[in-house]
Amino acid sequence: GNSVTQMEGPVTLSEEAFLTINCTYTATGYPSLFWYVQYPGEGLQLLLKATKADDKGSNKGFEATYRKETTSFHLEKGSVQVSDSAVYFCALSADLSGGKLIFGQGTELSVKP
Amino acid sequence: SQTIHQWPATLVQPVGSPLSLECTVEGTSNPNLYWYRQAAGRGLQLLFYSVGIGQISSEVPQNLSASRPQDRQFILSSKKLLLSDSGFYLCAWSLTGPFVGGYTFGSGTRLTVV
């Protein structure tokens, strides 16, 4: 079946460090891929998305490239800030008729000043 | 613009009591609607989804049920809560048809069963 695997957290970085959160997926066909962010005590917000192979999604300095050959969608940011501290979820949808999202387990990021 | 409302924000309920969480969407018609649960320290689990009024699909067997009495209203219920029902419940909506847009989530309800 379809699934998403993320690197385990928590990830702790110093401000201005480089961030990578790994995400790999298993899916039939050609899924759409997403990164969501959850700030403490809040719901999830869409951070970025990519709908076909080699697409790069980007937003707020974050980016991720849809790599079909490695079935990956790693999230990166060149210089993290304290305000980036949150839980990050990778997700896919392989259902063209309605769109059930399948989420990874989430990766907690903590950025220290 | 579209908005999604979820309430209450927090809830503490005793074991065996009933539950009703409500979610409403504004600014769109015939959305797909979803209920997710996020247990402490764990990822998101899809509980129910609905593609139309009265149409509910359950993803996991459990103590909970869902209903969609109106196009933009989605209700999560239980007749008797269990301790294991504690968690963060999130409602979400998406457009119907070819799926490219992702979900929009509500702000969530934190349920503690005591």
B26-52, pLDDT tens digit by residue?
998 889 999 999 877 678 888 998 989
* Amino acid in the structure at residue A83: S
**Is 80 exceeded by the pLDDT of residue A96?**
no
pLDDT digits (tens, 9 = 90+) for A7-35: 888 999 999 999 999 999 998 878 889 99
Question: Using the 8-state DSSP alphabet, how is residue A72 labeled?
Answer: B
Is any Cβ of chain B less than 8 angstroms from the Cβ of A1? no
- The CA distance from B5 to B108, in Å, is 9
pLDDT at A97: 47
C-alpha triplet B114, B23, B67: angle, nearest 5°: 85
pLDDT digits (tens, 9 = 90+) for B48-74: 989 899 999 988 767 899 999 999 999
Is any Cβ of chain B less than 8 angstroms from the Cβ of A73? no
Helix and strand numbers, DSSP H then E, in chain B:
0, 11
Q: How many CA atoms lie within 13 A of A25 on its CB side?
A: 28
pLDDT at B62: 78
> Which residues of chain B does A51 touch, with a Cβ-Cβ cutoff of 8 Å?
100
Helices (H), A6-113: none
Q: Answer whether A103's CB lies under 8 Å from A4's CB.
A: yes
CB contact under 8 A, A99 and B99: yes
Mention every residue, 6+ apart, whose C-beta is less than 8 A from residue B61: none
* Amino acid in the structure at residue B108: G
> Which residues of chain A does B106 touch, with a Cβ-Cβ cutoff of 8 Å?
43
* Amino acid in the structure at residue A74: H
Q: Which two tokens stand for residue A28?
A: 């039939």
CB contact under 8 A, B107 and A99: no
pLDDT at A7: 87
State mean pLDDT over A61-66: 98
State mean pLDDT over B4-14: 94
- The CA distance from A39 to A26, in Å, is 27
Q: What is the mean pLDDT of chain B?
A: 89
The closest CB to that of B100, out of A51, A101, A103, belongs to A51
Q: In chain A, what percentage of residues exceed pLDDT 70?
A: 96
**Is 90 exceeded by the pLDDT of residue B82?**
yes
pLDDT at B60: 78
- The CA distance from B81 to B76, in Å, is 12
**Is 60 exceeded by the pLDDT of residue B11?**
yes
